């Protein structure tokens, strides 16, 4: 049940947003600024302030324009100079309402832009927060990366921006790769081995993609391996993205060779709007990128990589067949420590023994619902259905898990027994199955 994330909407903004002189600076003339982030299902979530409003943004090299997505929990947001526009979705004729807004103030720690252009999208389908289990109000990429040298340290959960003219970090131990840009997005040339065939590929560097690698099988030497299965790959603008899930024998990144890499091959209809196959053969996602500490230098068109402690982690995938979504909150009663008064109280000839006082608290906890079941998977065979609400996993209340912990559990071990208690309508059911290794 790996959380799969695909953000393809910004493809349509590329023609709207060219390079401009507006940008970010580091306040008080500092050389660099360090920002801590939360890594959620391999994705980098950072706290920001937009026009004074505190929000959470995804840091994403795969987008060319800053985007506002999910503002349901925001009381008010003063967007500057907003102009209504209409956009079309991936491969479809549906018109999506959006607003283009200029001269906004965005802060990340001591990093600030006072003239940022943002796009606000109004579409019920563009809300990735439920699949991630944390709020994601927007996405930022090229607007930040173009102004700095950006160092991403996945192993210590921070990124650091440096003024290019004052960058003096020694990059010994890093491997250098050339970046190429198309519509403000970074690409690299790489090599993959699929079964017994080698293929040179051009890949988008997309750390907003939770998977390891996506490959478009339009090229003669890029074919889906025989051992594969149909799966839900991600959530796009116009709905779910489907395709095949498999493994490739190896991926070479600047001399670093990763083996038995999990790979996805999207259906051609799912990525109809991204048909740039003469330029691009796929994307490298964060399941690969998190294995490196990275330095991006957009101005010099260079990427520097050094493997970190995650490099040798196995490439796991969901073995349950379940895709979960955060479905809101439940109220949980919690009992605090017992309060016991000291001694007794005398009232005339009567001795009073005070009662022990128990403190009762109420907490809001996340609830999770099944939004997809892979056909033929262990969960499908066990009788689970879309819409089932999880109550317990292996005897533990589901609200004691994070979505990341559930993902890890469902990807953990072939043959592992999973016992679920679910709510289906007015019924509570117990269902169990064993994880099944397909690849």
| 8 A C-beta contact, residue 154 and residue 39 | yes
pTM exceeding 0.95: no
* pLDDT in the model for residue 64: 86
The segment(s) of the chain belonging to CATH 2.40.70.10 are: 9-166, 175-307
Length of the chain in terms of residues written: 439
Contact predicate 360/336, CB 8 Å: yes
Q: What percent of the chain is modeled with pLDDT above 70?
A: 75
Once rounded to an integer, what is the mean pLDDT over residues 29-47? 92
pLDDT of the residue at 115: 92
Average pLDDT, the chain: 82
For the chain, residues classed under CATH 2.30.42.10 are 322-434
Q: Taking residues 347-360, report their average pLDDT.
A: 54
pLDDT of residue 7 exceeding 50, the answer is no
pLDDT tens per residue, range 132-141: 667 788 899 9
CB 116 within 8 A of CB 142: no
Which residue has better confidence, 218 or 334? Answer: 218
Predicted confidence (pLDDT) per residue in 285-344, tens digit: 999 999 999 999 999 999 999 999 999 999 999 999 998 887 765 555 555 555 555 555
Residue 224 scores a pLDDT above 70: yes
CA 379, CA 436: separation in Å to the nearest integer? 10
Considering only 52-56, 71-75, 158-162, 229-233, which range has the smallest mean pLDDT? Answer: 71-75
**The predicted structure's pLDDT at residue 2:** 36
Band (pLDDT 50/70/90 cuts) for residue 12 is very low
pLDDT score at 143: 95
Superfamily for the 175-307 domain: Acid Proteases (2.40.70.10)
Q: What's the confidence (pLDDT) of residue 359?
A: 54
pLDDT at 107: 96
pLDDT, tens digit (0-9, with 9 covering 90-100), for 281-292: 999 999 999 999
With contact defined as beta carbons under 8 Å apart, do 145 and 78 qualify? no
pLDDT at residue 48 in the model: 95
pLDDT the model gives residue 277: 44
Give mean pLDDT, residues 193-213: 93
- Per-residue tokens: 424: 């289906």
Other CB atoms within 10 Å distance of the CB of residue 22: 14
Give the per-residue pLDDT at 168: 85
Classified as helix, coil or strand, 195 is coil
* Residue-level pLDDT at 236: 60
pLDDT at 238 over 60: no
For the record, the structure tokens of 433 come out as 């199955």
CATH hierarchy code of domain 9-166: 2.40.70.10
pLDDT digits (tens, 9 = 90+) for 254-273: 999 999 999 999 987 766 65
Q: Quick check: 270 and 410 in contact, CB under 8 A?
A: no
Return the pLDDT at 204. Answer: 94
Burial class (CB in 10 A: 0-12, 13-18, 19+), 322: buried
Instruction: Label the pairing between strands 149-153 and 292-297.
Output: antiparallel
Q: What is the CA radius of gyration of the chain?
A: 25
The confidence score (pLDDT) of residue 234 equals: 75
- Cα(141)–Cα(116) distance, rounded to whole angstroms? 12
Q: Is the pLDDT reported for residue 352 higher than 80? A: no
Name the percent of the chain lying above pLDDT 90. Answer: 53
Which tokens go with 215?
Answer: 């490959």
Q: 32-36 and 25-26 as β-strands: parallel, antiparallel, unpaired?
A: unpaired
Strand pairing of 95-108 and 175-178?
Answer: unpaired
Start-to-end CA distance of the chain, whole Å, equals 15
pLDDT score at 205: 96
Rounded Cα gap, residues 174 and 95, in angstroms: 45
Which CATH homologous superfamily contains domain 322-434?
PDZ domain (2.30.42.10)
Query: What is the mean pLDDT of the segment spanning 8-21?
Result: 42
pLDDT of res. 157 = 95
Please report which confidence band the pLDDT of residue 357 belongs to, taking 50, 70 and 90 as the band edges.
low
Note the helical H segments in 153-309: 286-289
Q: Positive or negative CA dihedral for 409, 410, 416, 418?
A: positive
Would you give the DSSP letter of residue 355? P
């Amino acid at each position: 049940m790996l959380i799969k994330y695909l953000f393809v909407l910004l493809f349509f903004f590329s023609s709207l947003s060219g390079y401009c002189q507006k940008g970010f600076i580091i306040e008080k003339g500092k050389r660099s600024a360090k920002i801590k982030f939360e890594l959620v299902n391999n994705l980098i979530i950072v706290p920001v302030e937009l026009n004074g409003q505190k929000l959470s943004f995804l840091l994403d090299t795969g987008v060319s324009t800053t985007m506002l997505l999910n503002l349901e929990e925001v009381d008010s947001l003063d967007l500057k100079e907003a102009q209504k526009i209409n956009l079309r979705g991936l491969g479809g004729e549906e018109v999506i309402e959006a607003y283009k807004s200029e001269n906004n103030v965005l802060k990340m720690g001591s990093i600030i832009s006072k003239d940022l252009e943002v796009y606000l999208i109004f579409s019920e389908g563009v809300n990735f927060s439920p699949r991630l289990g944390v709020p994601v109000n927007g996405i930022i990429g090229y607007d930040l990366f173009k102004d700095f040298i950006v160092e991403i340290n996945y192993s210590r959960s921070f990124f650091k921006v440096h003024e290019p003219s004052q960058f003096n970090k020694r990059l010994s131990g890093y491997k250098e790769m050339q970046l190429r840009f198309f519509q403000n997005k970074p690409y690299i040339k790489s090599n993959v081995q699929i079964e017994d065939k080698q293929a040179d590929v051009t890949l988008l560097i997309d750390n907003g993609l939770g998977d390891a690698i996506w490959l478009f099988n339009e090229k003669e030497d890029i074919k889906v391996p025989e051992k594969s299965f149909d799966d839900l790959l991600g959530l796009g603008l116009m709905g779910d993205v489907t395709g095949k899930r498999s493994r490739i024998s190896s991926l070479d990144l600047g001399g670093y060779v990763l083996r038995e890499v999990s790979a996805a091959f999207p259906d051609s209809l799912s990525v109809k709007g991204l048909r740039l196959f003469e330029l691009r053969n796929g994307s490298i996602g964060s399941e690969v990128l998190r294995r490196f500490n990275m330095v991006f230098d957009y101005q010099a068109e260079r990427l520097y990589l050094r493997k970190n402690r995650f490099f040798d982690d196995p490439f796991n995938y969901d073995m349950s067949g379940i895709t979960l979504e955060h479905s809101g909150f439940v109220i949980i009663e919690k009992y605090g420590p017992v309060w016991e008064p000291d001694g007794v109280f005398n009232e005339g000839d009567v001795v009073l023994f005070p009662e022990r006082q128990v403190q009762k608290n109420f907490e809001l906890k996340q609830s999770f619902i099944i939004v997809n079941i892979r056909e033929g998977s262990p969960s499908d065979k066990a009788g689970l259905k879309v819409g089932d609400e999880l109550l317990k996993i292996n005897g533990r209340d589901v609200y004691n898990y994070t979505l990341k912990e559930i993902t890890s559990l469902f990807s953990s071990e072939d043959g592992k027994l999973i016992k679920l208690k679910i709510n289906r309508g007015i019924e509570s059911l117990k269902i169990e199955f064993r994880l099944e290794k397909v690849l």
